[in-house]
Structure 1
Amino acid sequence: MKLVEKYFPNLLSEQIHKLSSLKDLYAYWNTYVNLISRNTFYDFYQQHVLFCLGIAKVFSFFPGSYVMDLGTGGGFPGIPLSIIFPHTKFILVDSIQKKIQILKTIIHCLDIKNAYPICIRAEKLESKFDFVVTRAVSKIDNIHNWIKNKFKYKSNSKIKNGSFYLKGGDISEEIKKFPHAIVYSLNHYFQEPFFFTKKVIWISNI
Structure 2
Amino acid sequence: MTDASLQARLEEGIQALGLTLPPEAVPRLLAYRSLLERWNGAYNLTAVRDPAEQITRHLLDSLAILPHVRGRTLADLGTGPGLPGIPLAIAAPGRQVLLVDANGKKVRFLREAIRTLGLEGVSAVQSRVEDVEGRFDCVTARAFASLADMLAWGGHLLADDGCWLAMKGRLPEEELAQVPPAFAVRAVHALDVPGLAAPRHLVVLGHAGRETGTGC
**Within 5 A, what are the aligned runs for 1:1-206?**
1-6=10-15, 7-8=17-18, 10-39=20-49, 42-57=52-67, 59-62=68-71, 65-153=72-160, 160-178=161-179, 180-187=185-192, 190=193, 192-195=195-198, 197-206=199-208
Question: What is the TM-score when the length of structure 1 is the normalising length?
Answer: 0.86
Cα RMSD over matched residues? 1.9
> Alpha-carbon deviation of 1:5?
3.2
> Alpha-carbon deviation of 1:36?
1.3
> Alpha-carbon deviation of 1:180?
3.0
Structure 1, unmatched stretches of 5+, are 154-159
Asked if the contact 2:190/2:200 (under 8 Å) is kept, the reply is: yes
The verdict on how the C-alpha distance between 1:204 and 1:54 changes in structure 2, with shifts beyond 3 A counting, is same
Mean Cα deviation higher: 13-22 or 38-47: 38-47
Helix, strand or coil for the counterpart of 1:182?
A: strand
CA distances 1:71-108 after superposition (whole Å, capped 9, x unpaired): 01111010001111211111000111111011111111
Return the alpha-carbon distance in structure 2 between the equivalents of residues 95 and 81 of structure 1. 20
CA distances 1:8-53 after superposition (whole Å, capped 9, x unpaired): 5522221121012122111101111111113565401110111111
Q: Which runs of 4+ in 1 moved over 4 A?
A: 39-42
Asked if the contact 2:69/2:138 (under 8 Å) is kept, the reply is: no
> Alpha-carbon deviation of 1:151?
2.4
Asked if the contact 2:79/2:85 (under 8 Å) is kept, the reply is: yes
Letter in 2 for 1:78: G
Structure 2, unmatched stretches of 5+, are 1-9, 209-216
Asked if the contact 1:25/1:106 (under 8 Å) is kept, the reply is: yes
Return the alpha-carbon distance in structure 2 between the equivalents of residues 61 and 121 of structure 1. 24
Return the alpha-carbon distance in structure 1 between the equivalents of residues 29 and 125 of structure 2. 22
Letter in 2 for 1:180: V
Return the alpha-carbon distance in structure 1 between the equivalents of residues 99 and 187 of structure 2. 24
Question: What is the TM-score when the length of structure 2 is the normalising length?
Answer: 0.82
